[in-house]
Structure 1
Amino acid sequence: MKTEKISPSLIMKTLDFAYEKALNGVAGLDSAQEMADNYIAKGGTKVEMVNSLIRWQNTKACTSGFLTGLPGIIVMPVTIPANIASVLYVQVRMIAAIAYIGGHDIKDDKVKSLVYACVAGNGAKDILKDIGIVVGQKIATTTVRNISAKTITAINQKVGFRLLTKFGEKGAVNLGKAIPLIGGIIGGSFDLIATNTIGNIARNTFIGQE
């Protein structure tokens, strides 16, 4: 299957597909909720649970071959490079797990949109600031409920353009930077600082500092 020129709409289609897989799971991998439940079962505060999840992700970042075990993601109904599709999947699953630990309904389109914003990393600050959400401060469930369909569309559009800038129109992306992975690396290079950045953004957005 040929890959077509990457566009914001194509990125959003990929995110939607990845999100569905993150919620329902793929062969051999826990769903976002199952992964979250593993940490909830260990006990502690929500922040401690998420910090443990992020630390585990950092530790496992040097385990090779993780993405090669993602046939359900690599074979996608959208024409986007498999490496980008797989990366988006593991990002989305991690952030959705954090949102779930924070008590948010990850089946809610409003929460899904906020998960997408976190995928943008530091770009999430600008995306959410425009709708009155401050990254680094816990978002209340009442605030989530009040997010309108129009706002969801606006967030998704901004995320699409932000990720397009990251990946480039031809799908060229330095996968050693700004891409968090769970259990594996791409191309033998991985930036642990970027992993912490995105994990912390998701934690602070969905849980706060307790």
Structure 2
Amino acid sequence: MEQNYERLALKVVNESLKLPFIKIDRSEFLIKTFGEQVDDIQKLIDEGPQVFFSKEELDESAKKVINSNVLQSSSLSFASGLPGGFAMAATIPADIAQFYGYSLNLAQEISYIYGYKNMWSEQGELTEDAKNTLILYLGVMLGVTSAGASVRILSNKLALQALKKIPQKALTKTMYYPIIKKVMAIFGAKLTKATFAKGVSKVIPVVGGVLSGSMNYLSLKPMANKLKDELGKSVNYTQQDFEQDIKILNEEDVLVTEYEPNGPTKS
């Protein structure tokens, strides 16, 4: 049953990632969001907004982006607004794929605000690692605590340095993939229980083919706020934060405990 959940979740993710609006250009987004507030655009792009702004200021920017996206999406055509040439998999309702497309789109913007790396290659392609990172973001949005902990550890150079005794392949095997597997199983179970069981979308209310305001505020906004809160913890990341993330992962048996003490002391 769990494998069925994972397969279903992967189908939805893959179809969502095919949507034409899914890609966020990191440089363009940062310039649009922060360009008028900094005097070194190249540094903003190279090092991220966290170099220029406090945690509180970044939180405010993330809130504005979330609110703007939620309000904007409430006025957009839902499912019927897809380009005519876009072919959705027959087994995946278009409204479901589009909702999670919006979610992953917003997840990229939130991550860029907090200094995370570009998800796309210079050729505009999404690498397998980037796709897995987006799945972890989705896990955070769905309330999987270990997904947030793994994102912070895997994106923090000092945290990875503290885990230097663990080979990268072993780290990937013991932490990265088990959590992705868990996220996909939980995601698939939610989809099956709430959406596909009766062939009707209950998680995502759709009225007259339009993305309803209730969907935004009852689903998308809380999910985005969860991601904001979790990714925001990576700013000024400390040894204490690292220890807490290790504890979260160990409680779920997804990470070996051998690591160098006194690892990260700053972001």
TM-score by length of 2: 0.55
Paired position in structure 2 for 1:33: 25
- Residues 143-192 of structure 1: per-residue CA shift (max 9 Å, x gap): 47977432332122112111122211545442447xxxxxx953664251
- Residues 65-108 of structure 1: per-residue CA shift (max 9 Å, x gap): 14422238952457422221111211111102211232222246
Query: Pairwise mapping of residues 21-170 of structure 1 onto structure 2 (< 5 A)?
Result: 21=18, 26=20, 29=21, 31-33=23-25, 36-37=29-30, 38-41=32-35, 43=37, 45-71=57-83, 75-76=87-88, 79-105=91-117, 106-107=119-120, 109-110=128-129, 112-120=131-139, 121-125=141-145, 127-128=146-147, 133=149, 140-142=155-157, 143=159, 148-150=171-173, 151-168=175-192, 169-170=196-197
Ranges in structure 2 where 5+ consecutive residues have no aligned partner: 38-52, 121-126, 236-267
Quote the sequence identity (%).
18
Structure 1 segments (4+ residues) deviating >6 Å: 144-147
CA distance 1:144–1:69, shift in 2 (3 Å): farther
User: Which protein has the larger Cα radius of gyration, Structure 1 or Structure 2?
Assistant: 2
TM-score by length of 1: 0.67
Q: Which has the higher contact order (CA 8 A, sep 6+)?
A: 1
CA distance 1:199–1:59, shift in 2 (3 Å): same
